[in-house]
Chains A and B, each alone.
Chain A
């Protein structure tokens, strides 16, 4: 009797599992045609639009033709694709916001930039939300379709459906090994305040990594450190300019974006430049693409934003500049950079990691936060 009961239960479980699989398959099968249908509709609309104006990051000029052709080929499009790789993201977003506030259509159909700019615009209601974005992304991105990468990694909250990740930027220290040995390097970001670095380093106006510091250090203490670092600095330069000065030997070190190191090494493996990760934290920011409201060619723009998340696009742009995507890690360059960060054992932190980082990010948008930000900038740049 007991054996019969056990067999019955086992059979029931087996049948149930079988039925469940069939049900899942049919559910997946139902969503697959739907996703494909959505993509086909989008492609048809893009063909009618006939054109696309979008920006990509500066430095990608050499591969614009390749990117445009690959994009068109992927979706069978025969449209005019204009990509701007000359204008910086801050200027583009400033102009975009002015354009939208004036009630005029945006010049760019798709715009890319740091996540914080996207959050601002989403809150202002000036970004198109892509309906059924998960299905579309699964159709476009092979790794998402296979489940190796999750859709929400490409478009996490609060950007879900609005903005799509295509690149990450890790903040690190670049140095000249002929001017500074590894033993003399600062262990933490706070160590840059040490007087032994006076006259040897440059700071930058881009202080996002320093803003993250208050997650790990008390605010007042962090300001004191920033002031000492500012006094140690011999100049305030852009990351590209400080990289150049390090290579020339004029500067010994500067905090920067990690890809400048790989960009130089790609041109000359023997170049006198080193990369160092701070042991207190490594801030990683993400670069997203979105379609602003009022875009003249929204379907083409949506397709391009989705395509830019793919390994195919990443392989092409990394021929010009090794902008990585360590979230997906879908190319060798990105995997190498991700491994380098992991091997350094430096804690990686983003604004959306946890409640504390998110709360800190939102705090910078308050009046008190903006006052603190102003003090931090003045301390690091010594502008009073």
Chain B
């Protein structure tokens, strides 16, 4: 009992914060599950299994689920193919313009997914694709049967889109690798490739595995890309488009909205994640093997790419062209035209800047920019703090429920964001009914809460991996010197994992900016944000104005990313390790 009291006292801060997060998350997840058994709105009486029975029909089992698996696995493979080498090249080698490349990777997230999809369709489409026409001309064919309007094209595009997410997930652990391991391998006459494959890679594989799981869960929940490429019909159904359709019935005559179906589809999306999480937790149990930041001093070493320097540079440039340059070109092109059209002399004659004069009033004025800035800052700070606290409990304590806690946090990402948003919306309604003066559903707060809870899965992957690499002896030294938990966190651990926290915050802010589904559902007259404005303009036929808004925003965001990187040390190197100054 005394030991329990002492343990609880030591970890009271992270425990209490994590507990609060757990209660919120669990409550919302259970509410979503509850919705799957209710025939109509959650506050109406009744019990039904029809939503679950509806899943077991041939269309879902033989088309929707297999299609979703193809898109999910394909996206992960593409993201791993690009993300792992990029993370290594940009964090551990001395190629030129590293910061610029990292910034470009970051700002690619800001470009809306549906814009990238439109851009790729203009490039690679059997009827209108520019690449198709060029190839057909070269080969002397009438047309080239290549296109992105299929499952593999969707997986390709989503893999490209999610590569930066994976990149930032594993960048922290890669940067924190102790070169002593690599030096020891070199002494043992291992060549560069052997060192990377047999020493470095095994040390960072928990981060890679966590990232792969996260990418899979994200890929299967994105709806706007498969909806745009495959349409919302039965040509290329995936779980995300089916879910969207259930929540947004377009009929003008009486038809109920099937929120229960949303919960069921969410459960289907979450199911494969459990398998990945099993392997992920097995890795966590052997955490000490991956502790690479120890009490002994070290300075991370940048490797010389040698004769592979040009290849490395070319690989980075190739990715950036495919994922950043091409979509940005399409965005700029669309922003200068009255409507989207292929390049031609006639199109060039219609170029103008008129869309740039219209976008701000079209989206609701300066208040939209203010709301968006507040949203990004609030979400980033909240996710950093809460993720760190949850990871502390998961990685640093021996509580039996710590893995369950991590599982719940990870599970939050498996639940479709739309289902999450609706659950929060209903909770907000109930609160405003019981406390009329308190209106959660009408302000920016509800969108912030939705984003924070949904991004914790990502934040904790980073902080889990970061804390895994910090050897426990550092904290033991601090405690021996009389430091309390908060002091140990603030003065010993956080400085060591600061690069990961900076990236977590930055990335969360960018993801919050570009997220559409939750914000769209939770939007009201008082909490409009840019992502909703851009999407709404594009969806109502004002693509040019939406593109102009996106170009301006991407430009501003890239400047902010540059500033953030500069504030965090520019090239984000770890500080020289010395004995911790505790107790002063």
Contacts and interface: CB of A to CB of B under 8 A. Distances in A.
A248 B433 contact: no
12 contacts: A61-B362, A65-B361, A84-B525, A86-B523, A86-B532, A87-B523, A87-B536, A94-B257, A117-B252, A205-B250, A236-B232, A384-B57
Nearest to B362: A61
Interface stretch (A26-34, A259-267, A326-334): A259-267
A217 interface: no
A382 to B, nearest CB: 3
B536 A86 contact: yes
B235 interface: yes
B340 A247 contact: yes
Interface residues of B, number: 74
A70 to B, nearest CB: 15
A203 B233 contact: yes
A103 to B, nearest CB: 5
Interface in A352-384: 361, 364-365, 369-370, 373, 377-378, 380-384
B422 to A, nearest CB: 8
B339 interface: yes
Interface of B: 41, 43-44, 57-59, 63, 118, 121-122, 125, 127-128, 149, 228, 230-235, 237, 242, 245, 247-255, 257, 338-342, 346, 350, 358, 361-365, 425-426, 429-430, 432-433, 436, 441-442, 520-521, 523-526, 528, 532-533, 536-544
Contact of B248 (A90, A237, A377): A90
A58 interface: yes
Interface stretch (A126-134, A155-163, A238-246): A238-246
A250 B233 CA distance: 17
A105 B543 contact: no
A285 interface: yes
Nearest to A99: B429
B230 A235 contact: yes
A116 B254 contact: yes
A37 interface: no
A289 B438 CA distance: 28
A98 B233 contact: no
A107 B525 contact: yes
Contacts of B541: 59, 239-240, 243-244, 260, 263-264
A234 interface: yes
Interface of A: 53-55, 58-59, 61-62, 64-65, 82-88, 90-91, 94-95, 97-99, 101-105, 107-108, 114-117, 120, 202-208, 211, 230, 233-241, 243-244, 247-250, 260, 263-264, 267-268, 270-271, 285, 321, 361, 364-365, 369-370, 373, 377-378, 380-384
A271 B337 CA distance: 12
A98 B253 contact: no
A373 B252 CA distance: 11
B232 A101 contact: no
Given A84-B525, A102-B430, A230 B342 contact: no
Contacts of B425: 95, 98
B58 A384 contact: yes
Contact of A248 (B59, B128, B255, B524): B128
A102 B429 contact: yes
A134 B437 CA distance: 36
Contacts of B536: 58, 61, 85-87
A158 to B, nearest CB: 14
A94 B41 CA distance: 10
B193 to A, nearest CB: 45
Nearest to B538: A240
Q: What are the nearest 3 A-B pairs in CB distance?
A: A236-B233, A235-B231, A382-B234
Contacts of B257: 94
Given A107-B525, A373-B255, A207 B250 contact: yes
Contact of B528 (A84, A98, A270): A84
Contacts of B63: 384
Contacts of B338: 264, 267-268, 271
Nearest to A205: B250
A247 B254 contact: no
A205 B232 contact: yes
A381 B41 contact: no
Contacts of B254: 116, 120, 364-365, 370
Given A53-B525, A247-B339, A101 B540 contact: no
Contacts of A382: 233-235
A210 to B, nearest CB: 10
B285 to A, nearest CB: 44
Contacts of B433: 102-104
Nearest to A82: B525
Nearest to A363: B253
Nearest to A247: B339
A172 B542 CA distance: 20
Most B Cβ at <10 Å: residue of A86, A108, A378: A86
Contacts of B528: 84, 86
Nearest to A383: B234
B533 A86 contact: yes
A346 to B, nearest CB: 20
A53 B439 CA distance: 15
Given A102-B433, A382-B234, A383-B245, A116 B252 contact: yes
A235 B121 CA distance: 13
A208 B251 contact: yes
Nearest to B244: A205
B351 to A, nearest CB: 12
A377 B58 CA distance: 17
B401 to A, nearest CB: 33
A98 B35 CA distance: 13
Given A102-B43, A208-B253, A267-B339, 5 more contacts: A53-B526, A98-B425, A107-B525, A208-B252, A244-B339
Contacts of A243: 541
B364 A64 contact: yes
Contact of A87 (B122, B237, B350, B520): B520
Nearest to B432: A104
Contacts of A208: 251-253
A249 B252 contact: no
Nearest to A240: B541
A117 B346 CA distance: 44
A373 B122 contact: no
A381 B233 contact: yes
Given A202-B231, A382-B233, A58 B250 contact: no
Given A82-B525, A268-B350, A62 B361 contact: yes
B525 A240 contact: no
Contacts of B118: 244
A364 B253 contact: yes
Nearest to A206: B250
B59 A98 contact: no
Counting chain B CB atoms within 10 Å of each CB, the highest count among A84, A230, A237, A248 belongs to A248
Contacts of B543: 244
B257 to A, nearest CB: 5
Nearest to B247: A94
Nearest to B245: A205
Nearest to B230: A235
A126 to B, nearest CB: 13
Contact of B540 (A59, A203, A381): A59
